[in-house]
A and B are shown apart, each in its own frame.
Chain A
Amino acid sequence: MRNLQNQFENRQALVNYVQKLAPWAEGDASEIEGGLSQGLEKLQAIDPINYGNTRNFADGKITQLSAYVHHGIIDLNQIRNEALRHCSQPEQIIKFVQELAWRDFWQRVAEHHPEWVWKDVEPYKTGFKPQDYAEILPDDITSANTGIACIDRFIEDLINTGYLHNHTRMYIASYIVHFRRIKWQAGAKWFLSHLLDGDEASNNLSWQWVASTFSNKPYIFNRENVDKYFGMQIDTSPEHNAILDASYEQLTELLFPNLVERHGHD
């Protein structure tokens, strides 16, 4: 047992020290800094009233507090209490509090069913069996070279910052599970190694929600949806996002042919 250093001249010195402690760890440090002071700064900046209408957009009033919550630096009680100070009527922040509640919900589910964190809670509702899904993530995904501009950009953000907007997490998860037919576990594991807020319960059960093993239907998206919420920030052009450039009906037929056939016979 040896005592480790806890004071550094600057951030780079700390990063170098951690790199020496864990030479096996991949990548670089994120620009997002840890610590209570950073968490409190973000807590002071929350806008829980406007959060409700803007949260799905790239430039929405999201809090980026999730990493601090995951590590117990700031708890949900503190955030809710702070949010209440911003409103005259609690109804104004109901969406904001509801999103906090998702975290509480996932933790409760994992507490009662720790086995659900890595095992399918229910069968896939995609017309496919678990064995139809690949076990391993291909290199083009982990290196942001899928050829789909928006997906590659989201993956780059994940690798560089360790943070993703919730909406983009769903896009990537849906792409991996439904467009590439890879097991959600492979994607969830990859997310956990990168996301600063990577939490087994929230992350894995959300992947299961997208996959349909913990929801009533698979979550899919198309280019139009990405364009609506992220079009101002990233390349959502049809020519660079061709496979996503389809209606939901077309995508359902393409991605879940067994479902369509079965429905056809109903």
Chain B
Amino acid sequence: MIDTIIWLHDKGLSISHPLFELPNAGTPCFFIWDDGYFKQRAYSLKRLVFIYESLCEMPIQIVQGNTLEIFTEMRPQKIITPYTADTEINHLIKQLAKGVAVETIRSKPFSMAPNSDVKRFFKYWSKAKKTAMLEDAGKNL
């Protein structure tokens, strides 16, 4: 049984993502080329080629198959994956989380505005701009 796996989905194609800063060097990292997922999203060939080109520049394993089936087969104790607001990916994560611990890690923040419920842009911007205009969102302030 594998201990921990890093799963990169198509909204988190970066090996500079903060999840790689976690103290687990050598953790296997996968991208799953899930035909059913892409088909459901009706991605055109343009989109698929763009994703594949991006994957080929990364030192990760690309495997083909159904995401849920592959993780059921691997039986990791934990899956670490980039956070996304994408509803399809989050649906997959919810299904995965029924059988295994899934931790989502956010990318570096753009602003330090509170992550509160917002509806109109300029209301959000009035809170966000102070740190959005600073390097690394003013994290060293």
Binding site for B on A (CB under 8 A): 1-8, 11, 14-15, 17-19, 21-22, 24-30, 32-38, 67, 70-77, 80-81, 84, 90, 94, 97-98, 100-102, 104-105, 107-114, 117-118, 121, 161-162, 189, 192-196, 198-201
- Asked whether, in the complex, the Cβ of A81 is within 8 Å of the Cβ of B135, the reply is yes
- Asked whether, in the complex, the Cβ of A192 is within 8 Å of the Cβ of B85, the reply is no
Q: Give B90-127 as 1s and 0s: 1 = Cβ < 8 Å from A's Cβ atoms.
A: 10000000000000000111110001011101001100
User: How far apart are the CA atoms of A82 and B39 in the complex, in Å?
Assistant: 36
Whole-angstrom distance between the Cβ of A50 and the nearest chain B Cβ: 18
Contact of A75 among B49, B90, B107 (CB under 8 A): B107
Which residues of the other chain, B, contact A3 by a CB distance below 8 angstroms? 61-64
Which residues of the other chain, A, contact B87 by a CB distance below 8 angstroms? 110, 114, 117-118, 200
Interchain residue pairs A-B with the least CB separation, the first 10: A34-B53, A34-B50, A162-B46, A34-B54, A76-B110, A72-B12, A110-B85, A77-B108, A30-B46, A25-B45
Query: Which residues between 44 and 60 of chain B lie within 8 Å of chain A, taking CB atoms?
Result: 44-58
- Asked whether, in the complex, the Cβ of B46 is within 8 Å of the Cβ of A77, the reply is no
Which residues of the other chain, B, contact A21 by a CB distance below 8 angstroms? 33, 35, 48, 64
Q: How many residues of chain B are within 8 Å of chain A by beta carbon?
A: 62
Which residues of the other chain, B, contact A111 by a CB distance below 8 angstroms? 85, 115
- Asked whether, in the complex, the Cβ of A4 is within 8 Å of the Cβ of B49, the reply is no
Contact of B56 among A7, A121, A194 (CB under 8 A): A7
- Asked whether, in the complex, the Cβ of A18 is within 8 Å of the Cβ of B54, the reply is no
Contacts A71-B13, A112-B117 given; does A28 touch B54 at CB 8 Å:
no
User: How far apart are the CA atoms of A194 and B10 in the complex, in Å?
Assistant: 15
Whole-angstrom distance between the Cβ of A92 and the nearest chain B Cβ: 11
B68 at the interface (CB under 8 A from A): no
Whole-angstrom distance between the Cβ of B60 and the nearest chain A Cβ: 8
- Asked whether, in the complex, the Cβ of B48 is within 8 Å of the Cβ of A22, the reply is yes
Contact of B49 among A5, A18, A113 (CB under 8 A): A18
Contacts A1-B65, A71-B10 given; does A29 touch B46 at CB 8 Å:
yes
B22 at the interface (CB under 8 A from A): no
| Besides A3-B61, A97-B129, 18 other A-B contacts (C-beta < 8 A) | A3-B63, A6-B62, A17-B52, A21-B33, A22-B45, A25-B48, A26-B45, A27-B45, A28-B46, A75-B107, A90-B133, A100-B110, A101-B110, A101-B129, A107-B85, A109-B119, A111-B115, A193-B43
B3 at the interface (CB under 8 A from A): no
Whole-angstrom distance between the Cβ of B82 and the nearest chain A Cβ: 6
- Asked whether, in the complex, the Cβ of B44 is within 8 Å of the Cβ of A27, the reply is yes
Whole-angstrom distance between the Cβ of B35 and the nearest chain A Cβ: 6
- Asked whether, in the complex, the Cβ of B137 is within 8 Å of the Cβ of A193, the reply is no
17 intermolecular pairs with C-beta atoms under 8 Å apart: A2-B65, A6-B55, A25-B43, A25-B48, A30-B49, A35-B57, A36-B54, A72-B107, A73-B54, A80-B135, A80-B137, A105-B124, A108-B85, A112-B118, A121-B119, A162-B44, A193-B47
Which residues of the other chain, A, contact B108 by a CB distance below 8 angstroms? 75, 77
